[in-house]
Chains A and B, each alone.
Chain A
Amino acid sequence: MTTIEIARDFSVTPGPRYERLGPNSGEAFRRRLSEELAKSEDDVVVVLLDGTEGYGSSFLEEAFGGLVRDGRFSADEIQRRLQIVAKSRLYVTYAKEATSYLQDAIAHSNPGR
């Protein structure tokens, strides 16, 4: 199991949706997450959201919803190998929101399911 703590391993100040808009973007984090998932076929990747200054919805949507749209990993594989968690109750809302973006993107990619 690999843990990515966003505040420690990426940035305390998660930024906008796209890299062209500013630093620490959701797009940049999605690439990082994608690389981590690609390292092994079975390893579970846990993303810990606590400790940042906060999150914009665009960052979360691009990081997690964008991972599904990217198409590098199947929806099943993402659901099996990715966990989005928060320890502090202030960040639990973000974990739920990120998970909902992931589920929405999966639903859009497989409208029949």
Chain B
Amino acid sequence: MRRLTRRFKKWLVRRGYYQARKGSVAQRKRPFFLRIPTPENLSFTYNRDVTQKFFQNMRTEIDVAISERRRLMVDPAPIKSINPAAALCLLAEFDRWQRLWGVGRLRPVTLRTWHQPVVRRLSDMGFFELLKTPVPEALRSGGPGANRFIRFVTDVVADTQHSVTFRREVGAPLSETSQLSLTLYRSLCEAIANAVEHAYPNPTTFPDRVGKRWWLMGSVDTDQNRLRVVVLDHGISIPGSLPNSRRWPEISKLIQIFTGEPTDGALIEAAMEYGRSRLETPQRGKGLGDIIALSDASPQNRLRIFSRNGYYVRTNGLSHSGVSRYPINGTLIEWDLALSLTHDDDIRPRD
């Protein structure tokens, strides 16, 4: 046996460090640089499972990349079509990523390979301003077109001035003194206030750098006379917040009677239909009703809510709910509205 001299001890310690370092490298399963391709069709309507799986995967990889200071690339080059709700989810994930990363900015390094209509739409909604990257005019193509995206807004408080900014961005199709603009304002106020008040119940439910954040954007299709408005938060979701309600035992009993089990879809439907918000004092619980009011303003309007694994759809006064295979990060509310009845003369006051 070799004598344990001071020099030999030193050598042993050095060898230990070396082996430990070598071991940790060997154990590392994930590559240092990871690339996540996006689906070709990013849509909650036509490609829901793939879209929700992509966003779930993107969130997981971003969180790993941030915690391990690893390089990650989310490549939007494959996207050939994108709808407003999916575009807002994509933007919100990049916004969150950039805020959590904290230093520098995310760069669209493959921008020249992205599909031109997608670049134009993302540019319209302010995606590249978020990334602080100017887009070459040639990539944007000409004119806003019949179907254009509205610039996004985001905040951590329920500042209703953003609703006015949004209405101004929509422009002529949404007149200032129409019944539709008043109802839209009402619904946006409540959706945004709900996000700030209920989606993030305590500091463990949101990172400091992101805050109790919500995002708002939309699209106008002047050919089809449609306006889409989307509000998103990254909170604990409607099914996640309902069990804190004092009426929870009553709601869960009703769900068991009507649908059998309290799935996320059934929980959202229960929250919407019974008008229960998380706090149940007599003066509360009117916000979700205001969200429905906008969809009920015209038989051609539609409301969709995605929250955790559940979804809820309401059109022409009828609603249904269901469960998606993959969860959504937070709650997404989308109104698809007919723009034909925007003038005062066309509307009778609703009592």
- Using a CB–CB cutoff of 8 Å, the interface residues on chain A facing chain B are 12-18, 21-24, 53-59, 61-62, 65-66, 69, 89-90, 92-93, 96, 101, 104-105, 108
A57→B283 contact, CB < 8 A: no
- Cα separation A58 to B192 with both chains bound (whole Å): 12
B193→A54 contact, CB < 8 A: no
In the complex, what residue of chain A is closest to B347 when comparing beta carbons?
Answer: A90
Contacts of A18 in B (CB 8 A): 197
Contacts of A23 in B (CB 8 A): 157, 159-161
A57→B197 contact, CB < 8 A: no
- Separation in Å of the B342 CB from the closest CB of chain A? 12
Contacts of A62 in B (CB 8 A): 283
- Separation in Å of the B156 CB from the closest CB of chain A? 10
| B36 contacts chain A at the CB level, 8 A cutoff | no
Contact with A along B248-292 (1 / 0, CB 8 A): 000000000000000000000000000000000011001101100
Contacts of B344 in A (CB 8 A): 90
- Cα separation A69 to B281 with both chains bound (whole Å): 12
Q: Tell me which residues from 159 to 183 in chain B have a Cβ below 8 Å from any Cβ of chain A.
A: 159-161, 163-164, 167, 177, 179, 181-183
A22→B182 contact, CB < 8 A: no
- Cα separation A101 to B286 with both chains bound (whole Å): 11
- Cα separation A22 to B162 with both chains bound (whole Å): 11
B290→A57 contact, CB < 8 A: yes
B290→A16 contact, CB < 8 A: no
| B196 contacts chain A at the CB level, 8 A cutoff | yes
Contacts of A53 in B (CB 8 A): 160, 163-164, 167, 181-182, 185
- Separation in Å of the B200 CB from the closest CB of chain A? 12
Contacts of B157 in A (CB 8 A): 21-23
- Separation in Å of the A106 CB from the closest CB of chain B? 12
- Cα separation A43 to B17 with both chains bound (whole Å): 83
B196→A22 contact, CB < 8 A: yes
Contacts of A56 in B (CB 8 A): 160, 185-186, 189-190, 193, 287, 290
Contact of A22 among B158, B184, B287, B350 (CB under 8 A): B158
B282→A21 contact, CB < 8 A: no
B349→A89 contact, CB < 8 A: yes
- Cα separation A94 to B155 with both chains bound (whole Å): 27
Is the interface on chain B under 10, 10 to 19, 20 to 34, or 35 or more residues? 20 to 34
Nearest 9 interchain pairs by C-beta: A54-B185, A56-B189, A22-B158, A16-B193, A54-B182, A16-B158, A57-B286, A22-B157, A13-B160
Contacts of B349 in A (CB 8 A): 89-90, 92-93
- Separation in Å of the B94 CB from the closest CB of chain A? 25
- Separation in Å of the B188 CB from the closest CB of chain A? 8
- Cα separation A13 to B186 with both chains bound (whole Å): 10
In the complex, what residue of chain A is closest to B289 when comparing beta carbons?
Answer: A57
Contacts of B184 in A (CB 8 A): 54
- Cα separation A90 to B347 with both chains bound (whole Å): 9
B181→A54 contact, CB < 8 A: yes
| B351 contacts chain A at the CB level, 8 A cutoff | yes
Contacts of B164 in A (CB 8 A): 12-13, 53
- Cα separation A108 to B282 with both chains bound (whole Å): 9
Contact with A along B192-208 (1 / 0, CB 8 A): 11001100000000000
In the complex, what residue of chain A is closest to B167 when comparing beta carbons?
Answer: A53
- Separation in Å of the A105 CB from the closest CB of chain B? 7
- Separation in Å of the A54 CB from the closest CB of chain B? 3
A57→B287 contact, CB < 8 A: yes
- Separation in Å of the A43 CB from the closest CB of chain B? 27
- Cα separation A14 to B186 with both chains bound (whole Å): 10
Contacts of B190 in A (CB 8 A): 56-58
Which residue, A12, A24, A55, A90, has most C-beta atoms of chain B within 10 A? A90
Which residue, B186, B190, B197, has most C-beta atoms of chain A within 10 A? B186
In the complex, what residue of chain A is closest to B157 when comparing beta carbons?
Answer: A22
Contact of B350 among A13, A24, A61, A93 (CB under 8 A): A93
Contacts of B163 in A (CB 8 A): 13, 53
Contact of A57 among B160, B186, B282 (CB under 8 A): B186
